[in-house]
A and B are shown apart, each in its own frame.
Chain A
């Protein structure tokens, strides 16, 4: 289990997705974490120190696990890059089946008859 910086994590995640196209699954877990042990946390609580929480992100293919964490400052940049990676690799999902909406739309068009002006005699 390796705790990586954001960009190396995203690179490794891409590799995981690329290696699992034929078989296997990828798990990505998000969890709120202080990145500290329980003992440390207890100590901080008794001393009245505030505990800073981050979002811990772990990814695994069942064999190899990678992880990283984002704080309040950098999570927006990270989630944008993360979404891009997901979009690039989740290509096996089915597209929506289109219902016959076109047929219904065409029927309405020819209703308003253009009235011909009466000819002057």
Chain B
């Protein structure tokens, strides 16, 4: 499998691949600091999608993809991805302090 040129295509096809076979699809991220290279791979052992980059801006896109895969894998392949963003999500804190009341 050659490296894919388009990020959007890579994301779309990797999510499709996972949804088609959630049990055997894995997502691998390889980072090599000394060469400044980042390689992403999604495979189900039959098909293999890869994306290679050395750009810092792609790392931000990758963050979003990471979050999408975390959501898909822990919540199930039918999870809704529309709310998954690249931003660091802070979960709604259950232990919020009283409503402005000072103690």
Contact = CB atoms under 8 A, between A and B. Distances in A.
A87 to B, nearest CB: 7
Interface residues of A, number: 40
Contact of B32 (A25, A71, A80, A95): A25
Interface of B: 18, 22-23, 25-36, 38, 53-59, 62-63, 66-67, 69-77, 88-91
A26 B31 contact: yes
B103 to A, nearest CB: 27
B33 A83 contact: no
Contacts of B23: 32
Interface in A52-90: 53-56, 70-72, 75-80, 82-84, 86-87, 89-90
A111 B23 CA distance: 62
Given A55-B73, A72-B75, A75-B71, A27 B33 contact: no
Given A28-B29, A94-B54, A54 B38 contact: no
Closest 10 CB pairs of A and B: A92-B36, A55-B73, A32-B73, A93-B56, A31-B26, A55-B74, A25-B32, A75-B74, A80-B88, A30-B27
Interface of A: 17, 20-32, 53-56, 70-72, 75-80, 82-84, 86-87, 89-96
10 contacts: A20-B33, A25-B32, A28-B30, A55-B69, A83-B88, A86-B63, A86-B66, A93-B55, A94-B54, A94-B55
B9 to A, nearest CB: 20
B73 to A, nearest CB: 4
B64 to A, nearest CB: 10
B70 to A, nearest CB: 5
Contacts of A25: 30-32
Given A29-B27, A78-B70, A21 B59 contact: no
B48 to A, nearest CB: 14
A54 B69 CA distance: 12
